[in-house]
Amino acid sequence: MSEALDTPVSRRLASVKNIIIVLSGKGGVGKSSSAVQLALSLLNLSPTTRVGLLDLDLTGPSLPRMVGLDLPGASVHQSSSGWVPVYVDQGRRLGLMSIGFLLKDRGDSVVWRGPKKDGMIRQFLSEVRWGDLDYLVIDTPPGTSDEHISLLTHLHPLFTPTPERPTTPASVLITTPQTTALNDTVKSLSFTRKLALPVLGLVENMAGYVCPCCGEISDAFGRGGGENMAQQNGIHFLGRVPIDTVLVGLLDAVSKGEVPGAAINEEVAEASTNGQA
């Protein structure tokens, strides 16, 4: 391996088969929820699949809460070979790393300039002991920020496929059907093209509302904008997920600790496919 491709990040991530980066042009469109649902769906591919979730939303980490790990006892351990992620399930098949686990007080805010964020992202990529992973799902902040540039700069050595790792990092875009979200998604797409980051496709989230009484889907925020955008820009349309009160209820119950995160795997996977995704 050439020296440029042999970095602490590429060495650490050599045991990760696939890296999927979740992007959205705007906040609040369901990017983090989609990252969690993607990780849970991948986990359900087989009983031995192992998945990592990396929360790079440094100023607004929400993944610990979404998987039911926003608990006083849930913290990252430092071992001689790196940080050990916090596992969602007892079988240690779904691990999570988030800055939320490193803050003394979960209510603390992170107010950092670019270089400090860059240092943290490099550490997250080079020092977490994931072990062998089939998928690493990376949740990023909304828009295209310093965090995205740091992430892609540190992942750069992995963009050269090797016989051991034929796949290179790729992204999934999340949008809602509303025009403002779609316009911002076009900007995210342009960002991926400038940085030669492959796009696996686009998900239209909050596409319609599932009536809790009859299950019928009504188009609260319009529908089909994501699919049209995908077609116009030559990317795959991966599907649409409606606003689903079952999903809201489950995520709320998990974040309050009423349901253990691992126990919702199947229910969330079912709720998230309630639409057409």
Compute CA distances 83 → 53, 126, 128, whole Å.
Answer: 14, 10, 5
Least distance to ligand ADP, CB of residue 178, Å: 13
Nearer to ligand ADP, 10 or 205 (CB): 205
Compute the distance between CA of residue 122 and CA of residue 125 in angstroms, rounded to an integer: 5
Compute the distance between CA of residue 186 and CA of residue 24 in angstroms, rounded to an integer: 10
Compute CA distances 7 → 78, 94, 273, whole Å.
Answer: 21, 25, 39
211 binds ligand ADP, rule: CB under 6 A? no
The secondary element (H helix, E strand) that includes residue 200 is strand 199-210
Which residues are registered as beta bridge partners of 52?
A: 95, 136
Nearer to ligand ADP, 60 or 198 (CB): 60
204 binds ligand ADP, rule: CB under 6 A? no
Least distance to ligand ADP, CB of residue 167, Å: 25
In DSSP notation, 87-106 reads: ESSTTS-EEEEEGGGT-SST
Least distance to ligand ADP, CB of residue 7, Å: 29
206 binds ligand ADP, rule: CB under 6 A? yes
Nearer to ligand ADP, 120 or 247 (CB): 247
For residues 155 and 125, is the Cβ–Cβ distance under 8 A? yes
For residues 201 and 175, is the Cβ–Cβ distance under 8 A? no
> Binders of ligand ADP among 95-154, rule CB under 6 A?
142
- The runs of H, that is alpha helices, within the chain are 8-12, 31-43, 63-66, 114-127, 146-155, 179-194, 225-232, 245-255, 265-272
247 binds ligand ADP, rule: CB under 6 A? yes
Interface residue with ligand ADP among 11, 179, 248, 266 (CB under 6 A) is 248
> Binders of ligand ADP among 5-34, rule CB under 6 A?
24, 27-33
Interface residue with ligand ADP among 7, 13, 51, 62 (CB under 6 A) is 62
Query: Does 211 belong to an annotated binding site?
Result: yes
Binding site listing for ATP: 25-32
Binding site listing for [4Fe-4S] cluster: 211, 214
Tell me which residues touch ligand ADP (CB under 6 A). Answer: 24, 27-33, 62, 142, 205-206, 241, 243-244, 247-248, 251
